[in-house]
Amino acid sequence: MERSFLMVKPDGVQRGLIGEIVSRFEKKGFKLVNAKLMQVSRQLAEKHYEELKDKPFFGELVDFITSGPVFAMVWEGNNVISVSRAMMGKTNPAEAAPGTIRADYAVSVGMNIIHGSDSPENAKREIDLWFNGEVVSYEKTIDKWI
């Protein structure tokens, strides 16, 4: 089953949106297989966003992601990588479709509430980086209805 790394960013935690975001993915039918609230180190933030290290906003991005606790998660389900990205909406909340998380709760590209892996390769890399690859495998009796 496909897995993705998702994270409520510091703005989402401060604004009390952890429950709302977890609820959306639960209601969709995805399964939470790991989660933790944590303060991110600069080293971890730089590694996580290493593909963006040459962007002019990289320093700002690392400052922001280390500015307060994040809620890191691993979710499992059919096509969870692309479907969760669709549920998040476009990077810039101004361009995100109504009903998506970023459109409903954010107004700036810097503080856009949530991160989600963008490819199977990055999902694996990020689950290894944030959770040492560990997930909790379990059955739910409702699985056959999803």
Q: Residues interacting with ligand GTP, by CB under 6 A?
A: 52, 57, 60-61, 91, 109-110, 112, 115-116, 118
Considering the complex, state which of residue 128 and residue 143 has its C-beta at the smaller distance from ligand GTP.
Answer: 128
Task: Return the one option of Mg ion, ligand GTP, none that residue 57 interacts with (CB less than 5 to 8 A, by type).
Answer: ligand GTP
The helix/strand count (H/E) of the chain reads as: 7, 4
Give the Cα separation of 93 and 25 in Å (integer).
19
Considering the complex, state which of residue 26 and residue 51 has its C-beta at the smaller distance from ligand GTP.
Answer: 51
Considering the complex, state which of residue 26 and residue 60 has its C-beta at the smaller distance from ligand GTP.
Answer: 60
Task: Return the one option of Mg ion, ligand GTP, none that residue 60 interacts with (CB less than 5 to 8 A, by type).
Answer: ligand GTP
Stretch that binds Mg ion, among 22-30, 40-48, 97-105, 116-124 (CB under 5 A): 116-124
Give the Cα separation of 65 and 138 in Å (integer).
31
- Minimum Å distance from CB 141 to ligand GTP? 32
Q: Which two tokens stand for residue 9?
A: 């960013």
Cβ atoms within 10 Å of 142's Cβ, excluding its own? 9
CA angle 17, 135, 138 (to 5 degrees): 95
* CB distance 46 to 40 below 8 Å: no
Task: Return the one option of Mg ion, ligand GTP, none that residue 112 interacts with (CB less than 5 to 8 A, by type).
Answer: ligand GTP
Q: Each residue of 31-53: b (16+ CB within 10 Å) or e?
A: bbbbbeeeebeeebbbebeeeee
| 9 annotated to a ligand binding site | yes
Known binding-site positions: 9, 57, 85, 91, 102, 112
Known binding-site positions for ATP: 9, 57, 85, 91, 102, 112
